[in-house]
């Protein structure tokens, strides 16, 4: 019997589940009847996320953990197995960041972003593989970003970590393919998303941090992650037309894109007003001294609820076949027209 056929659904682990994309993703898995383990630092956010998972139809397990601690992540994985059973899906999503020029980011701050955002994925993947490889089954979803390919100003620590995740995941995929393993790993590259991160990141810009438009709702990302978990044969999925445009431009005209970002990347990542919130770099903003931020940020008025590009990404073979048939039809019509003129 496959994991999708078990009476209690799959066992899914989501890191960074207390807010933003992780929170929306946990709800999306729960809506399918899955048992969801919620891993994060913020107790207030985790408690609220667990309530949402249960209301959506799933079972919830709250595990407070800092993903930069390898042993703690291993212990969390064992707790999930002891409570729910074998892990079917592990979603690496937890991250932190600093909005500042590179020269204004301290060594400890840069190290902290790297440990959470990059090594957190490494440690999560190791913990998942420890349980998945003996069973020769399971899926690991790495939540990436267009910034895994294209670095932008003011986010050097985050961009460096996302680039590292990309390279690490590609190496791992090669090793799993070589071993003919039944364990799969895939990556979902996201656009700018309306999450609370812009309220709690460490910010040294003059203005209030904001995502580069267009902005998508976290549920758009969540749907892509859930889909990828069930279709992990693909190496990666792109979400949002802006992600596709960025990655294509970076492959074709990287120098031109670099100059464009140098000109626009500072103003597009900050609003004129300033509103300081406690940064979550060292301690969770949604911990006992904070409050629950939910899945959405403050950009609901402009955020997009759907992504046609996401459908194209899922159905690229079908699209390719349709384009081939269409092109053949055009050529045939032109040939017939030419014959008629003769």
Q: Mind listing the pLDDT tens digit for each residue in 39-72?
A: 999 999 999 999 999 999 999 999 999 999 999 9
Confidence of residue 273 (pLDDT cuts 50, 70, 90): confident
pLDDT surpasses 60 at 254 = yes
pLDDT score of 2: 38
Confidence of residue 321 (pLDDT cuts 50, 70, 90): low
Mean pLDDT (the chain) is 91
pLDDT score of 3: 40
Lowest mean pLDDT of 4-13, 222-231, 252-261, 312-321, name the range.
312-321
Confidence of residue 185 (pLDDT cuts 50, 70, 90): very high
pLDDT-above-90 percentage for the chain: 84
Rounded to whole angstroms, the Cα distance separating 60 from 115 reads 27
pLDDT score of 312: 62
Report helix angle 241-252 to 254-264, nearest 10: 120
Lowest mean pLDDT of 122-126, 147-151, 270-274, name the range.
270-274
Say how many Å lie between the first and final Cα of the chain, rounded: 64
Q: What is the pTM of this model?
A: 0.89
Q: Which residue in 118, 158, 216, 227 is the catalytic one?
A: 158
pLDDT surpasses 90 at 4 = no
pLDDT surpasses 90 at 333 = no
- 8 A C-beta contact, residue 200 and residue 285: yes
Confidence of residue 278 (pLDDT cuts 50, 70, 90): confident
Average pLDDT estimate for 248-271 = 97
Rounded to whole angstroms, the Cα distance separating 214 from 208 reads 17
pLDDT surpasses 80 at 307 = no
Rounded to whole angstroms, the Cα distance separating 27 from 154 reads 31
DSSP state of 90: E
227 catalytic, yes or no? Answer: no
Rounded to whole angstroms, the Cα distance separating 13 from 67 reads 13
| pLDDT digit string, tens, across residues 72-129 | 999 999 999 999 999 999 999 999 999 999 999 999 999 999 999 999 999 999 999 9
Lowest mean pLDDT of 82-96, 183-197, 300-314, name the range.
300-314
Half-sphere exposure of 121 (CA within 13 A, CB side): 27
Domains with residue ranges and CATH for the chain = 11-306 (3.40.50.720)
Place of tokens 């055009």: 330
pLDDT score of 315: 61
């Amino acid at each position: 019997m496959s994991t999708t056929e078990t009476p209690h659904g799959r066992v899914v682990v989501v890191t960074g589940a207390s807010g933003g994309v992780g929170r929306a993703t946990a709800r999306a898995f729960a809506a399918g009847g899955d048992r969801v383990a919620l891993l994060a630092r913020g107790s207030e956010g985790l408690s609220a996320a667990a309530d949402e998972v249960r209301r959506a139809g799933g079972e919830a397990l709250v595990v407070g953990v800092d993903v930069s601690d390898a042993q703690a992540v291993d212990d969390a994985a064992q707790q999930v197995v002891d409570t729910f059973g074998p892990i079917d899906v592990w979603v690496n999503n937890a991250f932190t960041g600093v909005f500042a020029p590179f020269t204004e980011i301290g060594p400890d701050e840069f190290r902290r972003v790297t440990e959470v955002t990059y090594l957190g994925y490494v440690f999560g993947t190791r913990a998942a593989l420890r349980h998945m490889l003996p069973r020769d089954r399971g899926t690991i979803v790495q939540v990436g970003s267009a910034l895994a390919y294209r670095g932008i100003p003011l986010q050097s620590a985050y961009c460096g970590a996302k680039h590292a995740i990309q390279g690490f995941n590609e190496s791992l995929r090669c090793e799993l393919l070589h071993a003919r393993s039944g364990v799969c790993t895939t990556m979902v590259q996201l656009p700018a998303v309306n999450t609370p991160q812009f309220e709690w990141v460490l910010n040294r810009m003059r203005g209030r941090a904001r995502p580069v438009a267009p902005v998508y709702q976290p549920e758009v990302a969540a749907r892509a992650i859930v889909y990828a978990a069930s279709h992990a044969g693909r190496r990666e999925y792109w979400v949002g037309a802006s992600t596709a445009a960025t990655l294509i431009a970076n492959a074709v005209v990287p120098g031109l894109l670099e100059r464009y970002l140098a000109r626009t990347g500072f103003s597009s990542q900050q609003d004129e007003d300033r509103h300081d919130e406690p940064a979550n770099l060292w301690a969770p903003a949604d911990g006992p001294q904070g409050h629950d931020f939910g899945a959405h940020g403050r950009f609901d008025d402009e955020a997009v609820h759907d992504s046609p590009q996401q459908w194209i990404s899922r159905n690229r073979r079908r699209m390719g076949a349709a384009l081939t048939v269409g092109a053949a039809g055009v050529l045939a019509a032109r040939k017939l027209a030419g014959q008629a003129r003769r």
